[in-house]
Amino acid sequence: MIRSFIAFCLLLGATIVRSQDKDIHIVFTSDLHFGLKKDHFRNSQDSVSSYDVNKAMAATIHNLGDIDYIIVTGDITNREEVPIQAASVSWKQFWSVYDGLHIPLLLVPGNHDLSNAIGHYREMSPTQDASSVVGIYNTMHPGHTLDTAHFQYRPRDFNYSRDIGGIHFMFISIWPDSSNRAWMEQDLAKIKPTVPVLIFAHDPPEADSKHFTNPDGGKLKGQEKYENLLPETYTSGYERPWDLFLAKHPNIKGYFHGHHNYQEFYTYKGLSGDLSLFCDRVDSPMKGKYSSKDEKLLSFQEIILHSDKKQLEIRECLWNGTEGKEVKWGESHILQL
Would you kindly state where each structural domain of the chain is located, as residue ranges? 22-162+256-336
Tens-digit pLDDT profile for residues 178-189: 999 999 999 999
User: Looking at residue 218, what is its pLDDT?
Assistant: 55
Over pLDDT 70: what percentage of the chain?
A: 90
> What is the pLDDT confidence band of residue 252, given thresholds at 50, 70 and 90?
very high
> What is the pLDDT confidence band of residue 10, given thresholds at 50, 70 and 90?
very low
User: Looking at residue 299, what is its pLDDT?
Assistant: 97
Q: Are 282 and 255 in contact (CB under 8 A)?
A: no
User: Looking at residue 327, what is its pLDDT?
Assistant: 86
User: Looking at residue 5, what is its pLDDT?
Assistant: 38
Instruction: Give the mean model confidence (pLDDT) for residues 66-85.
Output: 96
Average pLDDT, the chain: 90
Instruction: Give the mean model confidence (pLDDT) for residues 18-23.
Output: 60
Q: Are 133 and 124 in contact (CB under 8 A)?
A: no
Residue type, 73: T
User: Looking at residue 324, what is its pLDDT?
Assistant: 56
Instruction: Give the mean model confidence (pLDDT) for residues 283-310.
Output: 95
Tens-digit pLDDT profile for residues 103-154: 999 999 999 999 999 999 889 999 999 999 999 999 999 888 899 988 999 8
Instruction: Give the mean model confidence (pLDDT) for residues 318-333.
Output: 84
Going by C-alpha positions, the residue among 299, 288, 170, 153 that lies closest to residue 229 is 153
Instruction: Give the mean model confidence (pLDDT) for residues 250-267.
Output: 98
User: Is the CATH number of domain 22-162+256-336 1.10.357?
Assistant: no
User: Looking at residue 215, what is its pLDDT?
Assistant: 83
User: Looking at residue 323, what is its pLDDT?
Assistant: 60
Distance of CA 332 to the CA centre of its chain: 19
13 has pLDDT over 80 = no
DSSP 161-198: EEEETTEEEEE-SSS--HHHHHHHHHHHTTS-TTS-EE
Q: Are 276 and 294 in contact (CB under 8 A)?
A: no
Going by C-alpha positions, the residue among 34, 28, 29, 25 that lies closest to residue 97 is 34
Round to whole Å and give the CA distance between 104 and 73.
14
User: Looking at residue 331, what is its pLDDT?
Assistant: 97
- Comparing 279 with 225, the larger pLDDT belongs to 279
Instruction: Give the mean model confidence (pLDDT) for residues 234-246.
Output: 95
222 has pLDDT over 70 = no
Instruction: Give the mean model confidence (pLDDT) for residues 73-81.
Output: 96
Cβ-based neighbour number of residue 43 at 10 Å: 7
